[in-house]
Structure 1
């Protein structure tokens, strides 16, 4: 029960600020630590009393040495209450304080804060734009989120603990030494100044090199995960040596960065150890000299020598704590480069849900270039009437898929606007926009979950009967029943593997089509929706696609022009502009770009493919 109470102090999934985390290191820390400032303050107070109790035990040890010089007769009668008090401190107070401290750290902060930071960072990062993920390794992004939460928590706890141990031990030692004899303060005071100087020299250098080592470690993770994710490609080409060299380069860089860091930590360790020896020798020698002159007692020697030995051990611990703190800070800094990035595509303040009543789409003088010089889409205007089915046609790079991407608002336009039923999509919420659009793309990737989970992504509240109907409509019911994964799960419960690698391309495409059938959105985008299907299967599900398109506004892109020739209207694009528009018959009769593309696919296309680039 007591464990559960402390574990409940941090609500992992509680409400939190969704703003971009600050980019400054300490402001980044405070952004997350302010959520548990009460717990950190409690740990700080408990750490103070734990350190105070331990110093009190050393003080009592010194007094005990002096007390033993008295006559044994009546010893316990004279000092019984003091002995009982110290027994209470050692047997009850100290263990209780340490237990509370450990419960706060190990039960509340270690699992709770770490998980909460990871959850918040994941929620922020997963809402980044598509370009954000295209510009980095997925493995490196995941690695940084996993490491940042743990390193932030660990360094915060270590800082809180180290502050009190240093302050209490050093401060009370100075007071106790001064109480015995002012001269005893001198070695410790000089040591404090020298120790601070050594830390001031080494800590910034350790911090910098720790950050570099963390960056290199994330690079290794990114390259390794990239290879594992694309293992089929690695197997298809006989370049194992090149892949080894690619990963080996990152591992070597990481090893070199770690060596540079450990050189500094070794130098710091040796320097502080040697300096600590001066403290022990200086304090002991001075204490013995003062005792020989009758200025202090044997108990004072026991106290001072015991405390400086403890401070010596503590300084070594502090050194490693400081080293660990700045290694963790380096990891947090590395994570900041991923987490503390503004989102490129965000909902406007006060954005409302999109309401689709008819499904009309209007592109008004839109411009988009992926941030590059030159046009991808320029001055494009297009009206798609409610319920109209249009096909997008054009050579590779014409801008067809880009047009679909900006309609989904995966990227924001540079100029112009897109309206759905008169509503500017830049002013509605992204989730409501994409919730009203069904998409079947050429690059179909499934989640590494069960068939059922992948289907329910289209409509989470669907019944099993509705799921089965969508599967039948996509002609996927035949192969789903035969699926068995590595753990013996079958049918709808079978796992599909990362990106759906356990299924063939055609099977993945049929699951994707079933998912969109289940979603039943009023606007439908088909980007090479049947590209992975053989002619027999494509013909089998064409009727299902016709049913799916019934009553919907449809924009379809297809490599095989025969699959979209029956659309209400074909729109031909070239170099980011619309160059032709009309029915299949009208465009063939016009003898323009569409007619040439059609001719390539209906006759002489092998020779034509050599002369011209392929049609996407």
Structure 2
């Protein structure tokens, strides 16, 4: 029965319910939180109502203890059941049946309906929104820090909300009942509690803003240290190759030192406030007990009222320590929410147009029409650049480092927004089509092919949704990858196409990663093909084999190839020579060599088929 009830409750909130993925979350901590919890406001109201019921019963228990003590003092065993049996049974029913039921309802809603689902729903929605940011967004931050902010947003928003609605509400109701009871007994008895509450509020006013500021510094230290550690792990090969383990240890040590200092700064505040609070609590208990004794001596309080009063005072004292840490936790969560909001709630630099439609590629003609772009700087890399690529034409982009070759390709893929002009594919402005449909029609192999930390088969199948195992194996065979894949295994005993490749494919050699990337593009079989040093990491024998497959793959496709090794693109239909963002020459290999321009100079500087200066083009973040 309980299992069915739990399943019902746990299915009330759909973690992956559809939402507007392009809507920018609002700025401001409270609007940002409301943006994520407004869908469960009804459940939050139920949490508040059940909390009200439970806190009321908790406070009433102390009043019932006082009433019970007075009964024992004034009634005999023979008369107590006769005169008060109904009330005694009613009190027992309230405590044995009603109280557990309300407690169950409150915790079932909190723990089964809201907490797991809303936490992960917030994480899911923030992850989806973050994925929609442009490439530059990810280039400007630590991957570890971004992921930490997405994860902590769910926990912090849920924590702050539940603590305010459930726990603080409980404390408020209990304190109100206590003051009401003390005031109804004697105004003098209420005075110590009112004075204690005033001092408690003053302590919170002093403590909370300082705790918030110090908690934010502590949270920043945590995320900075996490980002630094993840950055070192992600680039562990570079750390090892340059023998920089000491430098990385030193950097993390410095970061941990700052984090530890901020944590100690916060701890000093907590310790000082806790000592003051305990002194206030002790004073409240002593003064309340003395007043109760005085009023009892004057005949203005019964023994039961004394027991209830001291019990309520002790309960307030007990709650006070818990409550001050709860308030601190609320503001810590709010600080974490603010950090996440500042990272996540940024408008997407690249969005689909409101009326964007899927790209339909028929012939594959590409037109760069007066393109202007320079990463937001004043001086232009591309100023009114024009380039026409005919359907099915195979062109090569040639030029020294920094000429704009990779940038031109990135603009075609719409990884950056144009600053002027337009790019057309079969007459369709790529700014007016959906980004996913654009990139689905373009296959690309780069010289730096990072793989996902998944199986070989999953990485190849990334090229086409729904690919069969036979199609995956065939793509690997065509990319000359099937031989080495058959001999692969991982630490969990998975072999062949099921073996994991490690983070970014680090368990494979550069040539193996490139062959997997080529297999992925072969499987994708898109009508437009971009090759950016596609065979640079391969030895000559494997390259010759794959070149045959690439030649077949290029049949009937529009191809843009970038290569520093000019011999690999010399046979293309046309070569475009770029220098400092301008097209300085165009023609076949023979025509360009005969003209004696920049291309001829680059060709003459070749050594063993490579450019003398073969640095990869630097793309600013």
Say if 2:566 and 2:609, in contact at 8 Å, map to a contact too: no
Q: Following the alignment from structure 2 to structure 1, what is the Cα–Cα distance between the partners of residues 569 and 301? A: 101
Q: Secondary structure at the match of 2:492?
A: coil
Aligned to 1:126: 131
Q: How has the CA–CA distance of structure 1 residues 296 and 539 changed in structure 2, closer, same or farther, with 3 Å as cutoff?
A: same
> Which one is further off, 515-524 or 205-214?
205-214
1:366-381 counterparts in 2 under 5 A?
366-381=371-386
* Deviation per residue, 1:98-150 (Å, 9 max, x gap): 11111111112221111111111110101111101100110111111111211
Which residue does the alignment assign to 2:257?
Answer: 252
Q: Contact 2:397–2:405 at 8 Å: present in 1 too? A: yes
Work out the CA distance in 1 between the residues paired with 2:472 and 2:261. 54
Distance across 2 between alignment mates of 1:203 and 1:492: 56
Alignment of 1:117-156 (within 5 A): 117-156=122-161
**1:589-608, aligned counterparts within 5 Å?**
589-601=594-606
8 Å Cα contact 1:362-1:420 kept in structure 2: yes
1:275 and 2:280 aligned: yes
Distance 1:602 1:242 in 2: 37
Q: Distance in 1 between matches of 2:341 and 2:240?
A: 35
State yes or no: 1:197 paired with 2:177: no
Give per-residue Cα distances to partners, 1:149-198, cap 9 Å, x unaligned: 11211121111123322321121112212222222111111222221111
* 1:436-458 CA distance string (max 9 Å, x none): 00010111011101111111111
* Structure 1 position 603, deviation (Å): 7.3
Q: Equivalent residues in 2 for 1:187-336 (5 A)?
A: 187-336=192-341
1:475-554 aligned at under 5 Å gives the runs 475-554=480-559
Q: How big is each residue's C-alpha offset from its partner over 1:12-69, in whole Å with a ceiling of 9 and x where there is no partner? A: 1112232111120011110111121111111111110110001111001111111111
Distance (whole Å) between structure 2 residues aligned to residue 257 and residue 341 of structure 1: 28
Contact 2:564 2:614 survives alignment (8 Å): no
Is 1:459 paired with 2:464? Answer: yes
1:35 aligns with 2:39: yes
Number of aligned residues: 612
**Higher deviation after alignment, 90-99 or 460-469:** 460-469
Which residue matches 1:561?
Answer: 566
Alpha-carbon distance in structure 1 between the residues aligned to 2:388 and 2:591: 19
- Name the residue aligned to 1:62: 66
Aligned partner of 1:53 among 43, 57, 71: 57
Distance 1:215 1:423 in 2: 46
Q: Can you list the C-alpha shifts for 1:307-364, whole angstroms capped at 9, x where unaligned?
A: 0110111111111111111111111111112211111111111111111111000001
Structure 2 residue runs without a partner (length 5+): none
- Distance in 2 (CA, whole Å) between partners of 1:286 and 1:266 is 30
Say which of 170, 180, 188 aligns to 1:183. Answer: 188
Residue 497 of structure 1: how far off its partner (Å): 0.9
Contact 1:394-1:615 at 8 Å conserved across structures: no
User: Structure 1: 5+ residue runs without aligned partners?
Assistant: none
4+ aligned runs moved over 6 Å, structure 1: none
1:503 and 1:241 mapped to 2: Cα distance?
A: 26
Task: Name the CA shift for 1:545/1:71 in 2 (closer, same or farther; >3 Å).
Answer: closer
Give the drift of 1:290.
1.4
In structure 1, C-alpha distance between the alignment counterparts of 2:529 and 2:141, rounded to whole Å = 30
* Partner SS for 1:68: helix
Aligned to 1:26: 30
Aligned to 1:20, the other structure's residue is in SS state: coil
CA distances 1:179-222 after superposition (whole Å, capped 9, x unpaired): 22222111111222221111112111111111121111000010
Q: Aligned-pair distance for 1:89?
A: 1.4
- The structure 2 residue matched to 1:14, chosen from 13, 17, 34, is 17
1:419 pairs with 2:424:
yes
Cα distance per residue 1:355-377 (max 9 Å; x no partner): 11110000011111112343322
Measured against aligned partners, the alpha-carbon deviations of 1:478-498 in whole angstroms (never above 9, x if no partner) come to: 111111111111111111111
State the alpha-carbon separation in 2 of the partners of residues 294 and 434 from structure 1: 87
Superposition deviation, residue 582 in structure 1: 0.3
Q: TM-score w.r.t. structure 1 length?
A: 0.97
Residue from 63, 82, 104 that aligns with 2:87: 82
Query: How far apart are 1:266 and its partner, in Å?
Result: 1.8
CA drift of 1:602 comes to 5.1
Cα displacement (A) at 1:275: 1.8
1:170 aligns with 2:175: yes
Are the aligned partners of 2:452 and 2:505 in contact in 1 as well (CA < 8 Å)? yes
| Structure 1 residue corresponding to 2:7, chosen from 4, 7, 10 | 4
The more displaced of 461-470 and 536-545 is 461-470
In structure 2, what is the Cα distance between the partners aligned to 1:164 and 1:324? 15
Which digits, 9 at most, give the CA deviation of each residue in 1:583-613, with x for residues without a partner?
00000000000001011115798xx94xx67
Shift of residue 614, structure 1, vs aligned partner = 5.0
Question: Out of 364, 372, 375, which is 2:369 matched to?
Answer: 364
SS in 2 for 1:554: strand
Deviations 1:63-105 (A, max 9, x none): 1111111241311111111111111111111111111111111
SS at match of 1:108: helix
Q: 1:187 to 1:614 in 2, by over 3 A?
A: closer
Paired with 2:220 and 2:580, the residues of 1 have a C-alpha distance of 40
Aligned partner of residue 74 in structure 2, secondary structure = coil
Distance change in 2, residues 1:394/1:171 (3 Å): same
SS of the counterpart of 1:364?
strand
